[in-house]
Structure 1
Amino acid sequence: MSRQQAIDLATAYFDQGVFESTLRRRVAMPTESQEPGKLKELTAYLTDELIPVLEPLGFECRLIENPIKDGAPFLFAYRAEKGSDFTVLSYGHGDVVRGYAPQWHAGLDPWKLNIQGDRWYGRGSADNKGQHSINLAALEQVLIARNGKLGYDVKLIIEMGEETGSPGLREVCEQNAELFKSDLFLASDGPRVSATRPTLFLGSRGAFNFELKINLRQGAHHSGNWGGLLKNPGVRLANAIASICNENGKILVPGLLPKSLPENIKRALSTIQVGGGPNDPEIDPDWAEPGLTLAEKVFGWNTFETLAFKTGNPDAPVNAIPGHAIAYCQLRYVVGSDNEHFIDHLRAHLDAHGYDDIEVYASRGEAAEATRLDPDNAWVRMAAASIKSSVGKDVDILPNLGGSLPNDAFSKILGLPTVWVPHSYAACSQHAPNEHMLGSIARESLQLMAGLFWDLGEKGAKLAS
């Protein structure tokens, strides 16, 4: 068969309802990694759902125990071909965030795929069951079209803890570096820049969460009797935050910023249009670092966010001066930032501004590091050309995603060039009630992934050599 026939098979897989039935079955599995006591459900997604699909495609499958106590296992699948010249490593995650069933629109259930027009509602439809299901289905169609011979080996890692920070993933990659050895990392997660245009992203911004805390005294004291005599921790903390980030969102601490915005990154972002979709929030153009384009702000620079702030009792305020306050903050940061010393920079800044009564410490849990592949990399050029050939559209190329993924496990620990092809869009309600994927994107993604898997068999050996 030809390349076009492989794409036609992928199109038929969608049009004939096979993809729908597959996704419906997977959405129905409540794989909420954020909920305790879900190890059985998380493991069943691997053993009962994915392994029976992968083994008939020629994959040898095994579970790898999570080195983190009570962590879900990892699925490692390996499909080898005699005489192949290179190996592609892919990845996905079968866990999802909490369902939040009572908060969904009437008639919707997080564990039942519900199709309304172009929107396919269901928890995991966009993140990440729908995305890795597209890739596995496209690979299957290419295998059919090429008579069972891809021309390269494929390795696959599926984790069940991405929504809780990928516990154990980095350790598993370190312990199995030789087993996972490959030439290219190719996977799908996250959103496209625009729902109507394919996207490649080559890494992710890092996420550094930290807490600012001030504890001035035990208990609260009547504001009429003690107002004007006692420091207010909420006021102190609010002003400390204002010294870190001004009223327009600009970061004021040099140590929290990248050294520069490289010229090749600026070139790559020069054609990227951010926002403007029918369900996108209205952008505040004057927010954050002045002098940068919208794309540079979200993909090429660091941003500071106050995620939550608490002092006193917000649910039942009383006329009293609280004794303490806490703020939960986050830095999204790019390659070139001094992330190993963020706490030191914050501590020095707070002390210099007279806030030695405010504690600062990193929040617990694993945080993804910032990563980025050169947009001019040959694998990137090949993938973009392949996608355009398949669907006739130019491709948005992002040096890194604005959000965070465990890409550092693959780019830093395994040392691989990383290429992500997202099959979702920014307004998919990922992590929120009413999560959905777009059927139009799923159909197009099946086509472009079939073309890409085909082209890897034709051109990948040369790039890997």
Structure 2
Amino acid sequence: MIPENLVQRAEEYVDSGAFFAELSAMVAYPTESTRPHSYLAVKAYLDEILVPALTQLGCSVAEYANPDPSGGPFLVGTRVESPKLPTLLCYGHADVVDGHAGQWSNGRDPWTLTADGDRWYGRGAADNKGQHLVNLAALRLLLAEQGSLGFNLTFLFETGEEIGSPGLAAFAAAHREELRADVLIASDGPRLDAATPTLFLGARGGVRLLLDVDLRPDAYHSGNWGGLLRNPATTLAGALASLVDGHGRIQVPALRPPGLPDQVREALTGVAVGGSPGDPVPDEGWGEPGLTPAERLYGWNTLEVLSLGSADIDHPVNAIPGRARAALQLRYVAGTEVSRVREAIAEHLAAHGYPMVEVTVHRSFPAGRTPLDDPWVDWARTALEQVTDRPVAVLPNIGGSLPHHVFTDILGLPALWLPHSYPGCLQHAPDEHLLGTIAREGIVLAATLFHALGQAPAHLPLPVPRSA
């Protein structure tokens, strides 16, 4: 069991305001990877926040240029206590999405952390500065308590997760030896809900698609030419309905997963989605029939229309437009074959009478999942349930996306995610916030995992280290 005084110190760190003050300093850096001119803020965040934090943990620190010119630098902190000890790899990302200044409620500034009860508002508070601060603080408290961690530590920070992690896979492949570890424990994404401690084991992948129906450069009077000229908007609407029907059900077999594995179905039994204050209510009759909401969100694929337009939607005129466009996204689970997504959609549309619809893959990122029966999963759940008074939800993956595949497929690690946020945190939107109660519990949970990794008590032995 984790020492009671370590639990008390973790809770006091939040209760005293020290965590809030440290996070406030982090949020003040506008590290928007979506804006090229933010390079100076990103570099300052690495040099002035993360390098001192890693140095305080006794890490040697190295910064690396990104092999992809579209991405920012990487930072690696390394602490080696003994070659005989297990090695933990941690991960976080320093970048945030656009701050949306001027769009926050009550005149809030995205770069100033402000508290309203349990909600701490600021860009990056939940995604991902608050989350990697929880883990840095837990490691720092553990080191102060014991004088050592009891394991070797490697902490990897990237600066482009919000733009698809450019260069991360290539960097990991080129630095396999430096990033060698026995397990990844990291924090990003949301819990199942605000009240439920959660482990998730992967992320869905995504493919962004553009459908273009570009038929003519001009618009023509709908009275003079209606019924003679193909309408691109009508054509696009029909094409979309052939891909995903009006109830959210995917109509293209190649875009569906091969099935719902029994292990995934069992893991999701009894899992309830939503229900926290501010959450939308899942719509009845939407999505794949025969599945529970949890199975649709965590175990299945969805094809979503992100935007759809033709001509001037707000100020229409009596003319047949010349062009229509839609942006779609396929969210897919591990096991789905996506190498021919564009071809599969184009072939499907042609077979349904829409060869004039041009299909383009705009952007993609892979899915990944640590097996539910990996021994590290049971080890982590057992450790966490010793310190919390509630069951720990273990999800096969989250509904969103993370560079999980880099750690499992390239580095060959079991990857466990302990999130310190919740679905209603409004990440990527104005009014992003971290819940103080989750931060308080999160430091205790993270310290518990790290303590169990370093102490390996007889009742909770570590899985056989891969380095062995």
**Same fold judged by TM-score > 0.5?**
yes
Q: What's the CA shift for 1:36? A: 2.0
Q: What amino acid is the match of 1:199?
A: T
Q: What amino acid is the match of 1:44?
A: A
Residue 59 of structure 1: aligned partner: 59
Q: What's the CA shift for 1:368? A: 2.2
Residue 390 of structure 1: aligned partner: 387
1:126 partner SS: coil
Q: What amino acid is the match of 2:303?
A: F
Residue 114 of structure 2: aligned partner: 114
Residue 253 of structure 2: aligned partner: 254
Residue 198 of structure 1: aligned partner: 197
Q: What's the CA shift for 1:230? A: 0.7
Mapped to 1, the partners of 2:284 and 2:178 lie a distance apart of: 47
Mapped to 2, the partners of 1:389 and 1:310 lie a distance apart of: 53
1:55-454 matched pairs, under 5 angstroms: 55-147=55-147, 149-363=148-362, 365=363, 367-454=364-451
Contact 1:132–1:188 at 8 Å: present in 2 too? yes
Contact 1:201–1:419 at 8 Å: present in 2 too? yes
The CA deviation string for residues 142-197 of structure 1, in whole angstroms up to 9 with x for no partner, is 111112x2121110111111111111111101111111111101100000111001
**Among residues 440, 443, 457, which one is paired with 2:454 in the alignment?**
457
Contact 2:2–2:452 at 8 Å: present in 1 too? no
The CA deviation string for residues 423-444 of structure 1, in whole angstroms up to 9 with x for no partner, is 0000001100000010000000
Mapped to 1, the partners of 2:84 and 2:3 lie a distance apart of: 19
Q: What's the CA shift for 1:70? A: 4.9
Contact 1:379–1:463 at 8 Å: present in 2 too? no
Mapped to 2, the partners of 1:461 and 1:243 lie a distance apart of: 50
Q: What amino acid is the match of 1:91?
A: Y
1:424 partner SS: coil
The CA deviation string for residues 264-295 of structure 1, in whole angstroms up to 9 with x for no partner, is 11000112110111110011021010000110
> What stretches of structure 2 of length at least 5 have no aligned partner?
none
Mapped to 1, the partners of 2:2 and 2:209 lie a distance apart of: 53
Q: What amino acid is the match of 2:439?
A: A
Mapped to 2, the partners of 1:267 and 1:256 lie a distance apart of: 24
Q: What's the CA shift for 1:83? A: 4.4
2:208 partner SS: strand
Mapped to 1, the partners of 2:290 and 2:221 lie a distance apart of: 47
Mapped to 1, the partners of 2:54 and 2:28 lie a distance apart of: 19
Contact 1:80–1:153 at 8 Å: present in 2 too? yes
Mapped to 2, the partners of 1:393 and 1:146 lie a distance apart of: 27
Contact 2:333–2:368 at 8 Å: present in 1 too? yes
Mapped to 1, the partners of 2:269 and 2:350 lie a distance apart of: 39
Larger mean CA deviation between 28-37 and 300-309 belongs to 28-37
Mapped to 1, the partners of 2:238 and 2:429 lie a distance apart of: 31
| CA spacing shift, 1:2–1:407, aligned 2, 3 Å | closer
Larger mean CA deviation between 83-92 and 162-171 belongs to 83-92
Point out 4+ residue stretches in structure 1 off by more than 6 angstroms.
none
Contact 1:424–1:441 at 8 Å: present in 2 too? yes
The CA deviation string for residues 321-365 of structure 1, in whole angstroms up to 9 with x for no partner, is 1111111001000112111111121111111101111111100x4
2:259 partner SS: coil
The CA deviation string for residues 352-381 of structure 1, in whole angstroms up to 9 with x for no partner, is 101111111100x4x321111122221111
